[in-house]
Structure 1
Amino acid sequence: MQHSDLCGTDDYARGPLCLAAMHAGLVDNLGGYFEVFKSDPLPKYSKSERFGVASKSCRTATETYSFQMKCSTKGNTESSVTDVDCPSGCGSNYVCGINLYNSNSSVCAAAIHAGVLSAEGGHVRFYSTQSQSSFRGSTNHGVHSKSCGFSKNAFSFTNEDFCASKSCLNEGNCQSGMNQRFCFCSVGFTGEDCQIDINECTSGTHNCHQHATCTNTAGSFQCSCKANYTGSGTQCVPDYCAQNLGLCKNSGRCSDTITDYRCSCTSGYTGRHCETDINECAARTHNCHGYATCTNTAGSFRCSCNTNFIGNGLQCKANYCNSNPGLCQNGGTCTDTVTSYTCACTVWYTGSTCTNVRQDHIISNDLRSWDDSRAYCRSLGGDLATWGIRDSAKRNSIITNLLKPLGSGKVYFWIGLTDKDREGSFVYLDGVEMTSSNTDFHEGEPNDGGGLGPNADCVLIYLKNGVYKMDDNNCWYLKFAICERT
């Protein structure tokens, strides 16, 4: 027997329920009793032939039903009372709620959470009921229940309404649980029946400002700003000036600060309330900086920073570097000190203003690629060597004074010559093209690194048979470098 709409095996996507029950072996042609459970949809339903009934295969469906209770079976049944037999190991399935559970929860996992079922499974009865706006979660009996929002239906494992005999006080939300009721209190109340008013003022749970007074009320509290302050109570700002007219004398201007007030005096007056006329410079009561000059004015004073210092007169700092552009030469960095300045010269120069040449060339201490070597030289304010290599006398001086003393441990040194831009056309980094007179290659070089191919675009000086000469090589090789003053 086959029906065109019967689809699936054990889990069915569609088809007559009785025919599916025959296919599952629960009833025969004479009929019988069976239970049906909604289950989660599957990506695919397989076909089979059982007990003389053939089913088809099909793709996923919006609803699935089964004749077996599963851990994932939800409590969204349309029956008011449902008896089920739960398998073991359902504690990890989704649960939302405490005693009253969201209908999307696993019935078996919720039963373990409620304490009416062990992890080994067994028989349990649950009751469908009206839902609520939100559900709170908890961890109980090894099952973690989450908090969640509204669902169309809900279910519990008791049909006795413990809230009917005794409701919660002060608009608390009562929920009936296993042999007891639970009160979820409104904000401001606590206790088993929500009968206790929380005194937020004494418990320190209010949010009144530090310059406000907290007054407890039924289920809440009030905040009022103290004298000389104004605001909502949760935020209070000083209000001395408005509440104390004439606080500043002699036309002084009153300004509220964060915690107090300040009098800004007109010319010729000073003091807390602008009540005193004073010559600040003569009396040495001014606050000019040590490197500033105090000039008395009518009823006040003026502070001006001295030459080579900068600031508002109240604070002055050395400004030699900005006041004297180019004070440190040849890339030197000028730094103001407390009373003067210093020049931090590059590795190429020395002297108080970096005017004396210290050295033209240095050798790097670490092995790097050609590109990284150039970046290192430029970080020193120089570049890979060019003009010192083109001139044979300078080149020999570099070899004699810098390379040879290093011995046989350092024999390869990158220089600023490359044909990266155009294969076979070597050009120094300062734009000078290679000629036979401004280079000194080993015999047979350059030769693309002896067969290394187009990557042999960078030139180095290396020791061969006791002689330092040039060769092209792979730019990625790690070598030492000759850095040059630019």
Structure 2
Amino acid sequence: MDVQEENCKIGELSTPDQRVHFMALNIQNELGEVRQFTKLERHNDTCLNGGFFVIQSLHYKCLCDSGFSGIRCEKDIDECSTQTHDCNQHATCTNTVGSYQCSCNANYKGDGKRCRPNFCSTNVGLCQHNGTCLDTSTAYNCSCKVWYSESHCEKDIDECSTQTHDCNQHATCTNTVGSYQCSCNANYTGDGKRCRPNFCSTNVGLCKNNGTCLDTSTAYNCSCNIWYSGNHCEQDIDECSTQTHDCNQHATCTNTVGSYQCSCNANYTGDGKRCRPNFCSTNVGLCQHNGTCLDTSTAYNCSCKVWYSGGHCEKALEHVIMTTERNWANARKYCKSIGGDLATWGMRNATIRTWIVDNMIRTRPPAYYWIGLDDLDQEGVWKYIDGVPVTKDNTDFYPGEPNDVGYADCGHLNHVQDYAMDDHRCSYLQLAICERRLNQSR
């Protein structure tokens, strides 16, 4: 049996340009039907609709193209009813022989597999009252004019009841189709959106006693002659009790018939309408201990000498801060120049030292402060400059100090060590604590 030609073998798929030849061969299909083939071409009546003919173990079958099924590929597959198509959700699937077609539904456009909304172009007037139609990703929206609402701009908005109008507060709003009208109320004039008071023209004699009627932004006022007051100039005016005078806040108002008088209070000078402080001139010795009195815009301040403080320089101080950085020797010279010296007994007293640190030093930016403590006379022998030797009870050296690093022979309060005592090189520029004795028993 010759079953081979042009490299086409039994059981293999023949290509369009190859043919299979048989010599009086009986072959059975999948249904058990037996056919005799003497010569077979793959596009003859065996496999329909472009199906491929295959022989396996003296049986034949058809391999169908996409869109067909059946023993001989004789059945068309309906992709639409079997939902095996890829048409867009907004498209209609139409079955064809061996395939299908997709076409976008009404109000959508595209190739059927991609459909985008097209409501606005295909539905003229979809949005009423000149609303603007906007296609969205799935349908459409209507952008309505300011006077209309609802999905198709079909509803007239009552701007009056919804308070979306711009009528003046002194006007009446009347709704119209697609808009509204504004009209000014009685005693007001204008176009309804701008209404200004018109009380004076329409109400002759509104202000009594020759008072002048003045329309304001919201109603009216009566400008009265100097002898009268009240809403309609019906009362004599007391500018002092009604606080309608212009006396200075530091002056006293005295009412007169039809007017008032202003006079500056004690410690102030001026015409009563303008009063400036005059505490310093009228109060000799207001600032104690030779403090300088300075009048301010509202009262006065005392500028105190270096050893005094308080509102009137009444408080004498025993410790002050030198605010200019100097080396240890120059810091001591400064303290002596103001009648004191670098701090000694205040440093030996733990209570006083703590008060100085908490109330005079911690209130300032972190810094180092010279005190009256050194070992300049004899290296390693520390004493206060008033001659008192250092002991563990009168000196709060930081643990491990003094260590004489870098010729450190002068004492200071070290902010890095929480203002404990420390030794430092005397040439460094630092602030200082100056001290004097008010109580010689210290």
TM-score after normalising by structure 2 = 0.45
TM-score where L is the length of structure 1: 0.42
Pair member with larger Rg? 2
